[in-house]
Each structure stands twice: as C-alpha cells, then as structure tokens.
Amino acid sequence: MKNVLILLADGFEAYEASAFTDVLGWADSFGDTRLRVTTAGLHPVLTCTFGFKVMPEDLVRDLDLEAFDALAIPGGFGTAGFYEDAFSEDFLAVIRHFDERKKPIASICVASLSLGRSGVLSGRSATTYLLEERKKEQLAAMGATVEDKPIVRDGNIITSSSPGTAVETAFLLLETLTSTGNARHIRRLMGFG
C-alpha cells in the first residue's frame, strides 16, 4: 500500500487535482499496487480557482506526514488566492518534510513556485507556467534552474508547466511509486495509449 497526500491550497485548480485522483484511483482499482489518496488543506472548506467549494478529507495540522509515501500539489490562480495558502509556512513545511525524506513530490504548473519558496528547488532543475515570463523569473529568483520543458524531473521532484501536463505528471508519479509496467497498464485502461 502506498499513501499519497494531495496538498490543496485555497484557489487550487480542480482539473489539476483530479488528474492525480483519477490516475491514482484507477491504479488502485486496476493496477498491481494498492494506492490510497488523501486530500488535505489548511482550511475545512476550500474554494477552487473557478469558484466552487471543496472539502478536503483532512486538515494539514491533523496529519501524520510520516504515513505518506508521496506528495502531489496542483497549482492555482493568484487571483483566486492560491498563493496565500501555497506560500504560507504551514504549506511550505509539508513540502520540506517530504523532500528531507527524499519522498516523491509532484507539482503541476505554478505549484512549483511553492516548492521554490520552500527552498527545496535551490540548485535544482524545474519548470513552471511557461507562458508567463514572470513566473519563470520568480522560480529562477528562488534558486531553481528553470527549463523550458513540459515536465522536469530532478531527483525526487517532478515539476510541470501547465494544466495540459497534469495527466502526464500524475502518470509519472504513478510510475515512480510503482513501476513503468503498471503505469503503462493504467494508461492503456484509461485510453491514454
């Protein structure tokens, strides 16, 4: 059994979160390894980028982080308040916890800025939302070597460049947690090739 924490900031993008829940959920149901996904945030009710409300299963303050094998973080919009949570010390402490233990961390789009703010990308390669130069400059200022690629993996950390990379990022996390063969099997079952 592998336990994956999906860390949600207020203002997160629901599609990006659902890429993780769907790929890992399919893998739990039809793959060769049991996977348990837990969603957590800093508040009992979160508002997604486009306005609807979501209740995470747990609050970050109540979690035993040692119980998790990997961390997944969807991005969001600054205009929806994403960075208020995503740059908070409670949020950043979770990221540091996983990196200190060399556990897999997968982020989508601007969630890489949370990784950068936490300090775990210093001297490492990463990507972020590539269509906005300012985001790349922000990530570089946080110590990352920014690459103009859809998905960048550096050690235990996976970063990606847009909502369009969400499913591929989730499959890469699945492969990291289980195997290439298992990820390929789930990809085929879900109709991704």
pLDDT along the chain (193 residues), means of 10: 98 98 98 97 97 97 98 97 98 98 98 98 97 96 98 98 98 98 98 91
Contacts within 8 Å (CB) and 24+ apart, 144-151: 144/112, 144/116, 151/127
Q: How far apart are CA 15 and CA 36, in angstroms?
A: 19
pTM for the structure as a whole: 0.97
* pLDDT value at residue 171: 98
Other beta carbons within 10 angstroms of residue 188's beta carbon come to 10
Other beta carbons within 10 angstroms of residue 130's beta carbon come to 18
Fold of 2-189: Rossmann fold (3.40.50)
* pLDDT value at residue 193: 81
* pLDDT value at residue 16: 98
φ/ψ of residue 116, rounded to 5 = -60, -45
Closest CA to 9 of 102, 93, 77, 63: 77
Largest CA distance in the chain: 42
Structure tokens at 94: 């979770």
Q: How far apart are CA 8 and CA 172, in angstroms?
A: 19
Q: How far apart are CA 107 and CA 101, in angstroms?
A: 17
The DSSP H or E segment spanning 186 is: helix 180-189
Other beta carbons within 10 angstroms of residue 134's beta carbon come to 9
* pLDDT value at residue 146: 98
Q: How far apart are CA 74 and CA 14, in angstroms?
A: 8
